Amino acid sequence: MSRPQASQHPLARIDRRWIFLLIAVSVIIPMLFKLKIPTRPSPVVQAIYDKIETLPAGSRILVSLDFAPGTLAENWPMSATAVRHVLSKGHKLYLMTLWATGPDIITRAIDEIVKVDFPSATYGIDYVNLGYKAGNQGVINSLGTKFKTLFTGDATGTPTDQIELTKPINSVADFDLIIAIGSGFPGVKEWIQFAGDRSNVAVAGGVTAVEAPLLYPYYPRQLLGLMGGLQGAAEYEAAFSIGYPEFLAKSEDAISKMGPQTVAHLVILALIIVGNVAYFLGKSNARGGRA
């Protein structure tokens, strides 16, 4: 004999299409009104900004963009700010990727940021595109001793022995900082284990919000700092905008997205509460009916 089902409260019978519409409105309206949530950098993000600021001008910084277009919303703002910050401070920028989808992202960074915001930057002297190397963590491991064996040339095929930036590089230990921005394997974790730990070069990271909890245990001993998801990207933008207000209009990509995201999250929380209230009210009504 089947058990009688508890009667549902009217709140539990709301057409799901109204819920989808509510979520859509909670995102669209903040976007239309350009709602901005006040953002302050947390210590784990501020550490990245401070490290780049305290390095002497001309320091060599390797930036590895290890992600796909699917996570551009989170990874691109942190990548763009990192590139702007490195060049604004007068450091040398080395771009590379361990992902097959990375070359297009590097090209975008050069075309939309380096060439636009730093027109006086010279390729091979101020920045270089090392391109994509297959081999996952094996590539990182090889960088420890065989940089020029691995990178015989840059992304255009120019021999690294003929490029001013790469002439003095023999291993990953010749860099002053590694900034790894990724969304999976290989990514920040592998840069920590196979580069940072072995060469004593500081590693800073940027990852999606889903991956961030897995990497926080490495901070602060093995990981200098971490940008976790859109929030981490927004915090880095906030720190950068304070130090370099001339880029304020261009460095608020993540900050501008935090408003809609925050409102949508609040609406989702409210719906969860309503759903639970409706469930318990329906259960209570069922007990009262049986009484």
What pLDDT was estimated at residue 85? 98
**What span, in angstroms and rounded, lies between the C-alpha atoms of 172 and 200?**
10
What pLDDT was estimated at residue 1? 45
Residues of the chain with pLDDT under 70: 1-12, 284-291
What pLDDT was estimated at residue 182? 95
Burial of 5 (0-12, 13-18, 19+ CB in 10 A): exposed
Burial of 279 (0-12, 13-18, 19+ CB in 10 A): middle
Predicted model pTM: 0.84
What pLDDT was estimated at residue 5? 52
Does residue 234 contact residue 255 with C-beta atoms inside 8 Å? Answer: yes
What pLDDT was estimated at residue 275? 77
What pLDDT was estimated at residue 39? 85
Single-letter code of the amino acid located at 190: E
What pLDDT was estimated at residue 228? 96
Going along the chain from its start, the domains and CATH numbers come out as 10-35+262-290 (no CATH), 43-251 (3.40.50)
